[in-house]
Amino acid sequence: MADYDLAIIGGGLNGVSMARDAAGRGLRVILFEQGDLGAAASSASGRLIQGDLTVLERRAFLRTRMALAEREVWMRIAPHLVRPAHFVIPAHSDERPPWLLRLGLYAYDRLAPGGSLPRSATIDITHHPIGDALQRPFGTAFGYSDCLVDDSRLVVTSALDAAERGADIRTGARCVRADRSHIWRLVVIDRGHRRVITARSLANASGAWAASIAETVLRVAPPRAAALKLGQIIVRRLFDTENVYVLQNTDRRLVFASPYQRDFTLIGTVARPFVGDPAAVAMSADEVTYLCDVANRYFRERVSTSDVIRSVAGANLVMGRPGKRFAREGTVMFDARHRQAPLLTVFGGDVTMARLRAERAVSRLLPFYPMSRPWTGRAALPGGDFPNARFEAEVDDARERWTFLGPDQALRLVSAYGSRLHQVLGEAKGKADLGQSFGPDLTEAEVRYLMTREWARFPDDVLWRRSKLGLTMSPQDRERLAAFMARGASSLEEQSIRR
């Protein structure tokens, strides 16, 4: 008998979403991630949960409706991570005519099920706060609703849900060999230790590494896919409102400028073909300049490359040519040869469709194992067991229970942990009860929680994925955090050895 029903290689959004789905259906699941959860392309998305107007522009009405239906699901199951936002498209005389934008948004409204978000509207921004940050030529804009998501926390929270349903999540674990017969025999280097496990089926969800894993580890024909690089830049806050500005560029791409971590603006996404090592992916100077130029077509405040505080890039595989049309479409491939264990290969796709993509992938195994019906669209992610409309009330409740929290800190913590904030702060009566502080916003209690419950091992795991506090943390606090985590990691390793 095999050790597991399903082994998954890759701890990005596709991998953890499959682990969550399969574990909740009763399968014995193990997931291997060579680094940290969501450390590659899953932390380099545009942070959007959307139907995608560019897809609608190609008359892909069914694709848009499915994505908008998933938008409703995400708001229901992850209200702390997925927040509704007001999107604004300034009407640019050199781009799409106003009548075309009105028509597209009219269709967008009617394709959206549920009607939980405000519908689109035409806005005179001549004397409107929305127009304050824009250059003078823009007198009209079109507003509509979509959502922003904390992509990297969505990955970690999905993994947490999978683990609580029985999945074994192993970070720092690299699969180096896989032998296929009626079961899979996998050799894994797990934090320096060699392990051999068996599984009745295998999923290759290693993102940009999927082709090389297929060829060198699984020794099967790699998928005929191309690599695509996605990138954004982070600059100082360019506007005072909480709106997301949708900027039309001369190449007909849409670039989004969204509020980011209170004091910053995220601008992206630029998509380009990529060749090279996915672990070394980075934005080029030309790509950074491209996004700065788009911003400078619209905003009063000029953005130069020297103003870029941080750039974020990730690579993934896409079927066909690596153009915009294919970047948002995920791929699920299924190989079920006679008398051989099944192989799933899942890569690409946007954040919005990840849950449904995982559900469809796991369902391909139905002929092989008995399992329960799909369930992930109905069950809240950890911390998300409250209505979306109650988010502000959750923040107020947190400040009432932990009176030492300031408004910004309470907002950050509820956005990250939702109704499970008590697992981080416990019965603390004051900041001193949370242990030492690493800067004004990160405490020993939170770091301990992230290390013991959310697989954080290194400072970057905490500062750039489970939070974005790396944007404001001083070098001295970073050094103190690294020393604290090194001591904590040694203690956790000793406890693991004793067990």
Long-range pairs of 127-134 with CB within 8 A, sequence gap ≥ 24: 129/240, 129/241, 130/88, 130/241, 130/243, 132/239, 132/240, 132/241, 133/238, 133/239, 133/240, 133/241, 133/245, 133/299, 133/300, 133/301, 134/90, 134/245, 134/298, 134/299, 134/300
For residue 34, give the nearest of 211, 228, 213, 161 by alpha carbon.
Answer: 213
Report the pLDDT value the prediction gives residue 87, as an integer from 0 to 100: 98
* Tens-digit pLDDT profile for residues 417-442: 999 999 999 999 999 999 999 998 99
Q: Is 4 helix (H, G, I), strand (E, B) or coil?
A: strand
Residue 499: its pLDDT value, please? 41
Cα–Cα separations (whole angstroms), residue 456 to 173, 313, 448, 466: 14, 21, 9, 8
| Residue keyed to tokens 């932390």 | 43
Q: Helix or strand or coil: residue 193? A: strand
Distance (Å, whole) CA 203 – CA 193: 22
The whole-number pLDDT of residue 319 equals 83
**Paired residues of 235 in beta bridges:** 265
How much is the pLDDT for 495? 52
Residues of the chain predicted below pLDDT 50:
322-326, 496-499
Question: Which pLDDT does position 171 carry in this prediction?
Answer: 97
Answer whether 243's CB lies under 8 Å from 270's CB: no
The whole-model pTM stands at 0.95
**What was the pLDDT predicted at 270?**
93
Residue 116: what pLDDT?
86
pLDDT of residue 492: 62
